[in-house]
Structure 1
Amino acid sequence: MSTDEKRIEDELSYPIMVAERVRLAVQTANSFKLECSQVWKHVDRLLLMFHTVVRFAIATTAAAAPPLYERPIRRIAAETAKNIDRAYALVRKCNRRSIFRRIVNMVTAADFRKLLCHLDASASDMKWLISILDTDGGGGIDLSLPPIASNDPILSWVWSFIATIQMGQLKDRIEAATELASLAKDNDRNKMMIVEESGVPPLLKLLKEVASPAAQIAAATALCHLANDFERVRVIVNELGVPIIVQVLGDSHMRVQTKAANLIARMTEHDPVAHKFFARENAVRPLVMLLSFDMLVDDQVEKLDKQNIHSLVQINNEMENKSLGGRLSNRRLGNSYSNSYSRVEGSSRGWNHRKDRENEDPVLKLQLKISCAEALWMLARGSMSNSKKITETKGMLCLAKLVEKEQGELQYNCLMTIMEITAAAESNPDFRRAAFKANSPPAKAVVEQLLRITKEVDSPMFQIPAIRSIGSLARTFPARETRVTASLVAQLNNRNVDVAAEAAIALAKFACPDNFLSVEHSKAIIEFSAVGALMRLLRANEVTQLHGLVLLCYLALHAGNSESLEEARVLTVLEGADRALIAHHPELRELVPEAIAHLNLYHAGKNYQMISYFP
C-alpha cells in the first residue's frame, strides 16, 4: 500500500456513512416515497455487504491470517460509493418543502429507474467481491464476471487469481498461480495488469512455500513470464524478491531450482541493476554449486587409483556417510574438498537434496545445469563483481570441464559465461592478473578449452565466443605462447566470414600498441602466414575489411620490415584502401596514414641500398 492510500477500514467507512445518510433522507422524504423506499432497500443491501467486508478486514488484521487483497476492494468500494452518493442526492431532492425548489430540482421516475440500475450493478460487484474474499467457503476460484469488469473480463480474472494466491488454501493457490502464469504468457498487457494489481507480492510469498514444490514451481513460472521487461523486473526487485529467489535456489528440489535459475536469468537479462542485488545476495555460489554438484564425486573417483587400501576404505566410508546427509562427514570428506569448494556451498539445507538430485532423471539434471549456466552468463554480463565471484568460487574449473564434456545448449551457455568473464578481465587489469595468471590451473583449463573449440568445433555459434574470449585475454599470453596466435590465424581462412572477422579482431588485440608484447605477437602472426589470409579478407564485406585493415596496419607498424608484407604489396593495398571506409571509421583515419608512412621508410631504405650496390 502506498503512503498516500487510506487504510482499507477508512476506505470502507465513507460509503457506510453515506448509506446511513440515505436512510435518514428516505425517512423524511415527502415525495416519491415508494421509489425512495426502493432505493433504501438497495442501499441497505449494499450496507450489509460493506459490513461483511469490514468484518473480513478486521478478522485478517486481528488473527494470524493472510492479509486482505485490497485492490478490488478499493476499486469496487470507490465505484459503489459514487452510486450511493447519487442515491443520497436524489432522495434529498424528494425532501423539498418549497414548491419553487421542487420545480427547480425536478425529479422523475426515470431518475429512480436509472439509479436502481446503478445500485443493482454495485450489488453484483459487492457480491462478487465477497465471493473472492471468502476463502473459507471452499468454492475455489471465482471466474464470474462482475459488472465493474464487463468491459475488461481479464481484470476480474486477475483479481480473482491474485486474491486466491494471497488468501486461499494451498491447492487453490497453486491452481490460481498456474492460471495467472497462463494469462501472463499471453501478452504484455496481461503482464502489466498483473503487476499493477499487486500480483507480485503474493507470488513471491507462494515461492517461499518450501513444503510444496508444486506451489514454488507455479509461482516461479508466473514470475518468469512477468520478468521480461525492465519495469516489471524492478517491481520484483523492489518487493524484496531477490533474497527470496536466492534462498529458494539453494534450498529447494531440483525442479524448483531450475525455475529459480531461469528467473534469475530473466531478471538480470532485462534489468542491469538486478546484477547488484543478486551480487549482494551472492547468487553465484548456489549456481556454481548446482552446476558442479555431480562433479565432486567424479573427482574423488579419479583419485582412487592413487590411494592405498586404507585410504580407499576411508574415502568409500566417507562418501557413503555423505550420501546420508551427515554434515560432520561432509567436513571429513577430504580437507581438499572443503578447501576447494567451501565457498561454493550454498545453504546447508541445500545439501539435504543431494541424494535426491543424484537419483533424478538425467534430463532434469541437464535442464538444471543449462538453467544455472544461463543464469551465470546473465549475472556475469557487464558485472565485474559477479565475474569475480565466479572465479573466486572455482567456477572457472567447472565451466571449463562442462565445455570439455558437454554439448549443445549447456556448452554454449558455459562458453558465453566465460566470454563475459574474460570481457570483464579485459577491462580490469587487477582482475585479469588475479584470475588469469599464467600458472593458474583454472585459467589454463579455460584457455585449453577455448583453443579446442576454436580448432575442432566447426560451428560459428561456438567458435565466435571462444575466439572473442581469447582476444579478451590477449594481454595475458607471453610471447612464447605462439599456439594461440597460430590458432587464430588459422581462423582467418574460415569459410564463415563472421568467424574470420572475429579472428581478425582478436589478433588485433595481440598486435595493438596497448599490448606490451605487440612487436613479438605481430612477428608471430606474420610467421603463421596471416598476411595472405588478410588479403582475402579485405575482399569480403565492409565489416571484414574494417577489421582486416586495422590488423594489417598494426602488423605494418610493428613488423614493417617483414618480407611477407613487401611480397604481398601491403603498402599498395593500404594506399588504395577504400576512402569512404576510412572516413566512416575514426580509428582508421590516423592508423592507415601512419602505417603507410612506416612502410615507406622501410621501402625507401631498401631502394637506397640497391642503388648503392649498383652505381
Structure 2
Amino acid sequence: MGEGAKAMLAKPIQLADQVAQQAGWQCLRTDCTELRSRATKLAELLRQAARADQLYERPAARVMDDTVRALTKAAGMAARCFQSHSRLRRFFTLNPVSGLPRVLAMLDTAREDVAWLIRISNPQDDDDEDGLRGLPNIAQNEPMLAMIWDNIARLHTGGLAARADSAATLASLARDNPHFAKYIIEEDGVAPLVRLLKEGTDEGQEAAATALGFLCRDEESAEKLLHAGVCSVLAAALKEPPMRVQAAVADAIASLARHSHKCQDLFAQTNAIRHLVTHLASGTIQEHSKYAVGGNASRNTNTAAARSVRQGGEPGSSTNEPPPNPWGASTSTRQQRATTNQMQSVVQSAMAANTTMNGVRPPAARPHPQLNSNGSSGRGSREAEDPAAKAHLKAMAAKALSKLAHGHVGVCKSITESRALLCFARLLESGDGGAGTDLRFYSAMAIMEITRVAEHNLALRQSAFKPSSPAAKAVVEQLLCIVRKGNDDCLLRPCITSLGCLSRTFTASETRVIGPLVQLLDDREIPVMKEAVVALTKFACTDNHLHMNHCRAIVDAGGARHLVQLVYLGDQLQIEALILLSYVALHVPESEELAQAGVLAVLLWASKQAHMAQDLRVEALLPDAKARLDLFQSRASR
C-alpha cells in the first residue's frame, strides 16, 4: 500500500466530475438525471479513497482501470446529450440511448468496487469481523484472488491476532496450490509477512515463517523473496524463542536455500549457520568449553575470525551413560557392547579434541547457560519446551543445514569447523526419541551434502574427514552401522552416497567399508543397489590411490558374482555395474574369483551390446579391461 494507488485516482475523479457536469441540472430527462446521480456518488467515493491514509495498490489498479472504462463510456453518452440539442429540445425531445442501462450498471459496479477497496484498506481492530469483507466485482471469476487480497490487506491493517490468522490462511493457500503462492507474491504479500515475522506475536511469527517457506517454489520466487530482505530477517529470527518459531524459520531457510544459490551466500554471510548448529547441538552433546563456527569463505580474511559462544549440556545428556544400541537383533551381544563402547570413546575423544583446540579446559561444574540476544539466560525456557518440539527444531535445523551445504564450500567449511559433524553422528545413533520428525534422515542428508562437496575439494576433505579426526570417525561409524543393518531404504541411500564420497579418505588398513556395500548388491531395491554400485565404483576407480586394495576387497566379499548378475539382468543398473566390473577386471585380472564368476564372458557379451558399448565411459574402459582379463585368464587356463 502506498502513494502509487492514490496517483491512479486523479483521472477517474476528473472523468466523474466531467460526466456529472455534462449531464447537468439544465437537462431534465430521466436518463441524464440517473447518469448525473451515479457519477456524483462515484466521485464522492473516489475522493474518500483519495483521503484515506493508505490504499492497497494491487487491487486498486484493477478497480481504477474498470472505473475509468465505465466513466469513459458514461462521458461519451453525456457529451452526446449535451452537444446535440438545445435546452428546449432536450426537455421535449425523446432521444433514447440504448446503451445507457449497461453504462449505469458499470457505474454501480465501479462504485461497489471502490467502496470495497476503501473498506479493506482501513485499519481494523483485533475484534474485527472474522469473515471476508465482501467479494469485489473485479474478482467474481477468481474468488480465491479476493480471498488473497483480503488476507494481505489484513496483514497491513489488522491487529496482531488478525494478522496472525491471515498469515496462517496464506500459508495454507500457498501450501495447497503453487498458483496461489504465485498470486500471493504478485499481490505484494511478501513485505507484510516479513514485517509480521519481525514484530508479530509468537503465533504470527510462526505463521509468517511458514508462509514464506511455502511461497518459495522455484528460483524466480526465491529471487523475489530475496529482494524483499527475507534472508536477514530469517537469520535474525533463528535466535529468538520459542522453539516452534525457530523451527518454522529453519524450515523456511531450507526452502530458500534449496531454490537459490544467492540465498545460500546470504545465509552464509550471516549468523544463520551458527544458530542452526547451536540448535542442533543443544541437548545432543555435552561440552562446556567454547566452540567456534567458521566464517563464510567469501568474507575477507581479515574479518573472518571465528565467533565463539558458550553452550551448556542439559541434564540427562552425560556421556558416561551408554548410548542406545544401534545394531539389530541379529548382532551378537559382544559386538553390540564393542560398538557402543567405541562410539562412546569417539564422542569423548571429539569433545576432548575441541577443548584442546580452543585452549580452554571445561570447568568441573556449573556449565555456562546459553544466553539470549538480550543477555538473559534462555536455558529455562528451552528446558520447559516439549521434547517433541525440541526434536522438531533439531530436524528442521538439520534440514536447513543440508540445503545450505548443497554445493557450497564455504557453508560446508563453517559446518565442519563447528561440532556439527559430531552432532550428526549422535543424532544418527539416537534419533528423535520416537517424536517422528525424520531427524535421522535429515542428519544423513546433511552429511551426504557435506561429503559430496568434500569429494571434490581437497582442503575440505583433509580438514574435516582426515582419518585421525574423532568427529569423522564417529560419522563413519554411524554410516557403516546403518549400511550394515540395511533395513531403512530412505536412510540407507544418503549413507551409501556419503561413504562413496569419502572413498579417498580411507586408509589401506580400513577394511570395514567394502563388505557392507557389496552385501547391498544382493536382491535389494534398485535405487539402493544403484547407490551401492556407484559408491563402490568410487572405491575401485583409477583416481582412488588405493584402488588395488579396494578391488581385491570387492572380489573377496563376493562382489564379482553379484556384478555379473547385474550386468546380465540389472536393466537400469547394467551400465553402472559393467563399469564397476571393468575396473575390478582391470586392476585385479589375476583373481581366481573372476574366472569362476565368468567375468571374461560377461565383458565379451557386453562389448557386443550396442546400448552398452556406445556409452562413453564404457567405451573408454571396457577394451582395456577385457584385454587385461583375457591375458591373465588365458594364461591361467593353460
- Range into which the TM-score falls when normalised by the shorter chain: 0.7 to 0.9
**Which residue number in structure 1 is paired with residue 298 of structure 2?**
none
Equivalent of residue 9 in structure 2, options 12, 31, 36: 12
Equivalent of residue 124 in structure 1, options 101, 112, 127: 112
Equivalent of residue 194 in structure 2, options 190, 204, 215: 204
Equivalent of residue 425 in structure 2, options 396, 400, 408: 400
Deviation digits for residues 40-71 of structure 1, max 9, x if unmatched? 222222222222222213xx5xxxxxxx4222
The AA in structure 2 aligned to 1:492 is L
How far apart are 1:109 and its partner, in Å?
Answer: 4.3
TM-score w.r.t. the length of structure 1 is 0.83
Equivalent of residue 355 in structure 1, options 380, 388, 398: 380
**Which residue number in structure 2 is paired with residue 164 of structure 1?**
154
Report the Cα distance in structure 2 between the residues aligned to 1:351 and 1:587, rounded to whole angstroms. Answer: 60
**Which residue number in structure 2 is paired with residue 595 of structure 1?**
625
How far apart are 1:454 and its partner, in Å?
Answer: 1.0
Equivalent of residue 112 in structure 1, options 89, 93, 100: 100
Report the Cα distance in structure 2 between the residues aligned to 1:598 and 1:89, rounded to whole angstroms. Answer: 92
Contact 1:250 1:350 in 2 (8 A): no
Contact 2:116 2:133 in 1 (8 A): no
**Which residue number in structure 1 is paired with residue 603 of structure 2?**
574
**Which residue number in structure 2 is paired with residue 177 of structure 1?**
167
User: What value does the CA root-mean-square deviation take over the aligned residues?
Assistant: 3.0
**Structure 2, gaps ≥5 residues long:** 289-312, 322-357, 364-369
Is 1:372 aligned to 2:376, yes or no?
Answer: no
Report the Cα distance in structure 1 between the residues aligned to 2:191 and 2:249, rounded to whole angstroms. Answer: 16
Deviation digits for residues 181-239 of structure 1, max 9, x if unmatched? 333344233222222211111111111125x1011122223223322343333322221
The AA in structure 2 aligned to 1:47 is A
How far apart are 1:145 and its partner, in Å?
Answer: 1.6
**Which residue number in structure 2 is paired with residue 287 of structure 1?**
276
**Which residue number in structure 2 is paired with residue 341 of structure 1?**
none
Report the Cα distance in structure 2 between the residues aligned to 1:264 and 1:295, rounded to whole angstroms. Answer: 22
The AA in structure 1 aligned to 2:469 is S
Equivalent of residue 56 in structure 1, options 37, 41, 52: 52
Shift of the 428–346 alpha-carbon distance from structure 1 to 2, 3 Å rule, reads farther
TM-score w.r.t. the length of structure 2 is 0.80
Report the Cα distance in structure 2 between the residues aligned to 1:548 and 1:9, rounded to whole angstroms. Answer: 68
Deviation digits for residues 312-359 of structure 1, max 9, x if unmatched? xxxxxxxxxxxxxxxxxxxxx994579xxxxxx997359744321211
Equivalent of residue 37 in structure 1, options 33, 38, 44: 33
Contact 1:143 1:157 in 2 (8 A): no
Which runs of structure 2 are paired with 1:392-431 in the superposition (5 Å)?
392-406=417-431, 409-431=438-460
Which runs of structure 2 are paired with 1:155-554 in the superposition (5 Å)?
155-210=145-200, 212-297=201-286, 302=318, 335=360, 348-349=373-374, 352-406=377-431, 409-493=438-522, 495-554=524-583
Contact 2:371 2:377 in 1 (8 A): no
Equivalent of residue 93 in structure 1, options 70, 76, 80: 80
Shift of the 90–428 alpha-carbon distance from structure 1 to 2, 3 Å rule, reads same
Contact 2:20 2:37 in 1 (8 A): no
Is 1:134 aligned to 2:122, yes or no?
Answer: yes
The AA in structure 2 aligned to 1:588 is V
**Which residue number in structure 2 is paired with residue 65 of structure 1?**
none
Report the Cα distance in structure 1 between the residues aligned to 2:99 and 2:128, rounded to whole angstroms. Answer: 38
Is 1:21 aligned to 2:18, yes or no?
Answer: yes
Contact 2:567 2:602 in 1 (8 A): no
Shift of the 485–289 alpha-carbon distance from structure 1 to 2, 3 Å rule, reads same
Equivalent of residue 61 in structure 2, options 46, 63, 74: 74
Report the Cα distance in structure 1 between the residues aligned to 2:139 and 2:95, rounded to whole angstroms. Answer: 30
Report the Cα distance in structure 2 between the residues aligned to 1:426 and 1:593, rounded to whole angstroms. Answer: 28
**Which residue number in structure 1 is paired with residue 342 of structure 2?**
none
User: Secondary structure, in 3 states, of the residue corresponding to 2:487?
Assistant: coil
**Which residue number in structure 2 is paired with residue 322 of structure 1?**
none
Aligned residue pair count: 557
Report the Cα distance in structure 1 between the residues aligned to 2:619 and 2:527, rounded to whole angstroms. Answer: 24
**Which residue number in structure 1 is paired with residue 351 of structure 2?**
none
Identity of matched residues, %: 36
Deviation larger for 215-224 or 598-607: 598-607
The AA in structure 1 aligned to 2:9 is L
How far apart are 1:451 and its partner, in Å?
Answer: 1.0
Deviation digits for residues 268-320 of structure 1, max 9, x if unmatched? 33444433333233432221211121135477564789xxxxxxxxxxxxxxx
Report the Cα distance in structure 2 between the residues aligned to 1:372 and 1:240, rounded to whole angstroms. Answer: 21
Report the Cα distance in structure 2 between the residues aligned to 1:462 and 1:139, rounded to whole angstroms. Answer: 49
Shift of the 545–19 alpha-carbon distance from structure 1 to 2, 3 Å rule, reads closer
User: Secondary structure, in 3 states, of the residue corresponding to 1:208?
Assistant: helix
Shift of the 528–432 alpha-carbon distance from structure 1 to 2, 3 Å rule, reads same
User: Secondary structure, in 3 states, of the residue corresponding to 1:538?
Assistant: helix
Deviation digits for residues 466-503 of structure 1, max 9, x if unmatched? 12111111111111111222332333335445434432
Shift of the 570–111 alpha-carbon distance from structure 1 to 2, 3 Å rule, reads closer
Report the Cα distance in structure 1 between the residues aligned to 2:218 and 2:205, rounded to whole angstroms. Answer: 22
Contact 2:534 2:576 in 1 (8 A): yes
Shift of the 400–304 alpha-carbon distance from structure 1 to 2, 3 Å rule, reads closer
User: Secondary structure, in 3 states, of the residue corresponding to 1:348?
Assistant: coil
Shift of the 356–35 alpha-carbon distance from structure 1 to 2, 3 Å rule, reads same
Contact 2:56 2:117 in 1 (8 A): no
How far apart are 1:180 and its partner, in Å?
Answer: 2.5
Structure with a larger share of its residues in helix: 1
Deviation larger for 270-279 or 43-52: 270-279
**Which residue number in structure 2 is paired with residue 153 of structure 1?**
143
User: Secondary structure, in 3 states, of the residue corresponding to 2:407?
Assistant: coil
User: Secondary structure, in 3 states, of the residue corresponding to 2:574?
Assistant: helix
Deviation larger for 546-555 or 197-206: 546-555
**Which residue number in structure 2 is paired with residue 312 of structure 1?**
none
How far apart are 1:241 and its partner, in Å?
Answer: 1.0
Contact 1:289 1:346 in 2 (8 A): no
How far apart are 1:538 and its partner, in Å?
Answer: 3.4
How far apart are 1:7 and its partner, in Å?
Answer: 2.9
The AA in structure 1 aligned to 2:147 is W
How far apart are 1:25 and its partner, in Å?
Answer: 2.3
Shift of the 171–423 alpha-carbon distance from structure 1 to 2, 3 Å rule, reads same
Deviation digits for residues 532-560 of structure 1, max 9, x if unmatched? 33334434322333233222211221122
How far apart are 1:595 and its partner, in Å?
Answer: 0.8
The AA in structure 1 aligned to 2:266 is F
